[in-house]
Chains A and B, each alone.
Chain A
Amino acid sequence: MRRVLGYGGAALLAGWILVPIWFVVVGAFSTADSVYTYPLAPWPDWSLESMRFFVTSAGVPQALLSSVVVALITGVLTLLLAAPAGYALARFVFPGASAYRLTVLATRAFPVVVLSIPLAVFFLQWGIYDSVWGVAFMHTALALPFVVLMVAGVFAGVPVDIEEAAQIFGCSRFGAFRRAVVPNAAPGLAAAGTFAVLLSYNEVFAASILTLQEPTLPVFVLTGLTQAPLPFRYAGALFLLAPAFLFILLIRRRLVGVGGPTLR
C-alpha cells in the first residue's frame, strides 16, 4: 500500500516535470498550422521544418562554441577560486566563517541585471567586453557563492585522517592536499564544477548584456525567440534543452552526491 502510494506520488511529480517538456517536443515537431489550431494535438505530426531551421542556422555553430568555451572557463575558474575557500570552511573553525558563508550567498541578492550594467563598463575598459572572457568572469561570479558551499561539503566528506597520514609520510600541507585530498574529493569537485557549467549554459541576461557579436547559444537562440512565431519558439526551446538534458543525464548522480551546500 505504501509502495503504491510512493510510486503514485513519484509518478505524479515526474509527470508534472515531464508533461510540459512533452508539450515543447510536440510543438517543435508540429507544423505551424497545428500549433495554431485549438484544441492542440497531444502528438506531434513530425514536421521537421522548425527544427531544421535551428540546426542549419548560420549563427548556431559559432554561438555553440562560445557557450562551450564560456562554460568551460566558468567551470574551471569557479573551482580554482572555490576550492581553497571550501577547504578552509571544511577544515578550520575560525571567527568569520559563518559570516563568510552568508555574505557570499547574499551577494546573489543583488539583481544580475542591475549589476551587469556597471560591469559592462568595466569590461569595455579592460577590453573584454563582447568576449568569452567577460561573460565567463560574470558567470563565475554568479556561480561562485553556490560552488564554494558545495565544495565545502565535498571537503568535509574527505576524512582528515588521510590528509594527516599523507603529512606524516612526508607530504607538505599543500602536498597532502594535492595527493591525498584532491583525489578523494575529485568526484565531488567535478560535480561542483559541473554545476557552474550548467549555470553558465542557462544564463541569458548577463550574457546578453555583455555580448554583441559573441553571443552564447542561449542568448543567440532565446533572445531572438521571445519575438519569434510560436513554432520557432518550441523548436528553439527544444534545441536548447536537448544538450542540457543530455548533460544532466551524464552528471545527475554527481550533482546530488556532493552533500549539497550547507550553512551552519
Chain B
Amino acid sequence: MSVSSPRPSAALPYLLLLPSVAYLVIFFASPMVQAFGLAFTSTTGEWGLTSLSAMVSDDRFWPAVWTTLILLVVLLPIQLALALAMSMIITGRLRGRGFWLYVFLLPLGVSELGAGILWYSIFVEQGWLNTVLQGVGLIDRPVIWLDYREPWRVIGTIVVAEAWRSTSLLVIILVGGLRQIPKDYLEAADVFHAGPWQRMRHVVLPLLRPTIRTAMIVRVVLAFEVFATVIALGGTATDTLATQANRAYTEFQDAHLASAYGLVILVVSLVAVGLVLAALPARRERGE
C-alpha cells in the first residue's frame, strides 16, 4: 500500500468507499436482514426459534454440518497446492506459458451447474472414468463410484469436481501474487544454495503469504455456497448446509428453514475465515 500524495482530506477515502458500501447495503445487507427475519420466525409468522430448532433437530442437520466441514478441510489444501503448481507453471520458465495459462483458466467459463452435469457423466457407473479404467485394464467391470454407502468415495468425487471447477479463481489470485515477488529474491535463493523445494518453502511461500491468505479466504467464503456439484454427485444421500438450504426452498418450500440454514452458513463461514486469519496473521515487516 503506498502512502499517498498531497495530504488528502481525511474524509476522502470514506467518500470513495461510499458508493460500493451503499450498493452492498441495498443488494446484500437488506435482503440478508430480511432473511434473518425469516429465520427467526415460524411458518405461521411468530417470532422465535422454531425454524432454527426445526433445522437442528432434522436428522440431516449434523451430517450436513460435518460433510460441509470435511469437504472444506479436504478441498482447501488440495486446491491451494494445485493452484500453486499451476501458478508456478504460468509464471515459470516453461515454453508455451500462454497456452498453459489458457488451459488453467478454462474452468472459469464453466458454471457450477455445468460442472455438476459434466462430472456426473464421468463418475456415473457407465461413464467416462470406468470406460477409461476398464480400457487400460485397471478394473474388469464398472465400479459404482457414486455409491452413497461409501461416503468417502462420494466425497472424493465431489472434491475432484470442485477442485476442477473452482481452482482457476485461486490461480488468478496466486499468479498476481507471484508476479509481485521481485525476481531478485528468487535469484538470491538460487545463488544461496536453495534447491527448488527449499526455494519454495523458505522464500516463495513466505513471500506469497498475504496472497495465499487472500486465496484461502476467498475459497473458504465461497466453499460454503457450493451445492450444484454436491447434488449432482451425491444425490439425495449426501447433504451439506448449502444443499439443505437449497432443498428447503425448492422441495419443502419453507423460506424460514432455508433462511435458518443461510444464517448457519454465514456464521460457519465467518468462523472459518476467522480461523484462517488467526492461522496466517498478517505480518507487516515488508516495507520496502
Contact = CB atoms under 8 A, between A and B. Distances in A.
B126 A144 contact: no
A27 B20 contact: no
A133 B98 CA distance: 36
Interface stretch (B54-62, B106-114, B150-158, B182-190): B106-114
Chain A at the B interface: SS class:
helix
B159 interface: no
A42 B13 CA distance: 57
A259 interface: yes
A140 B273 CA distance: 23
Contact of B111 (A27, A80, A222): A222
Nearest to B135: A39
B40 interface: no
Given A10-B89, A117-B255, A262 B214 contact: yes
Given A85-B17, A255-B172, A167 B273 contact: no
A118 B144 CA distance: 41
Interface string A191-225: 00001001001111100000000000010001101
Contacts of B278: none
A9 B85 contact: yes
Interface stretch (B41-49, B199-207, B262-270): B262-270
Contacts of A247: 109
A69 interface: no
Contact of A118 (B2, B31, B179, B221): B31
Given A84-B17, A144-B23, A259-B176, A106 B85 contact: no
Chain B at the A interface: SS class:
helix
Interface of A: 2-3, 6-7, 9-10, 13-14, 16-18, 20-21, 23-24, 27, 38-40, 42, 80-82, 84-85, 87-94, 96-97, 100, 102, 104-119, 121-122, 137-138, 140-141, 144-146, 148-149, 153, 156, 160, 163-164, 167, 173, 195, 198, 201-205, 218, 222-223, 225-226, 230, 233-234, 237, 240-241, 244-245, 247-249, 252-253, 255-264
Interface in B236-288: 242, 245-246, 249, 255, 258-259, 261-262, 265-266, 269-270, 273, 282
B282 A264 contact: yes
28 contacts: A6-B92, A14-B104, A17-B104, A20-B122, A23-B118, A23-B122, A27-B121, A39-B135, A40-B128, A81-B23, A84-B16, A93-B4, A104-B20, A113-B242, A115-B31, A119-B31, A137-B27, A138-B27, A140-B27, A141-B27, A167-B5, A173-B8, A195-B172, A222-B113, A241-B109, A241-B110, A256-B175, A257-B179
